[in-house]
Amino acid sequence: MQIAVALDTTAIVTKLAGVKEAKALRSGSIVGDVHGGLTFTDAVAAELETRSTGGWQEIQSSCGQVWTIIVINR
């Protein structure tokens, strides 16, 4: 079974200046990019991973872009 989910890519947080900003994100925030997550420093990525139960995931937007996202839920 496939499930299609519409995702508003304009709501994805694509820039974080540092770990402090990553810690300040509200639960439910979605962070990501179209570069495999490589626009985030290792320290920021590690902080995001501690705040997510699902980790990094790849999704395809309706316009065909592949996003690497992480959902903040902790």
CB-based contact 70:16 (threshold 8 Å): no
For residue 35, being part of any structural domain is answered with yes
For residue 42, being part of any structural domain is answered with yes
Question: Could you report the per-residue pLDDT of 16-73, keeping only the tens digit for each?
Answer: 999 999 999 999 999 999 999 999 999 999 999 999 999 999 998 888 889 999 999 9
Domain that includes residue 39, residue range:
9-71
* Angle 72-61-58 from CA coordinates, rounded to 5°: 50
For residue 41, being part of any structural domain is answered with yes
pLDDT score of 1: 55
For residue 26, being part of any structural domain is answered with yes
Number of compact structural domains in the chain? 1
For residue 1, being part of any structural domain is answered with no
CB-based contact 51:19 (threshold 8 Å): no
For residue 4, being part of any structural domain is answered with no
Question: pLDDT: is 2 or 73 the higher one?
Answer: 73
pTM (global) more than 0.85: yes
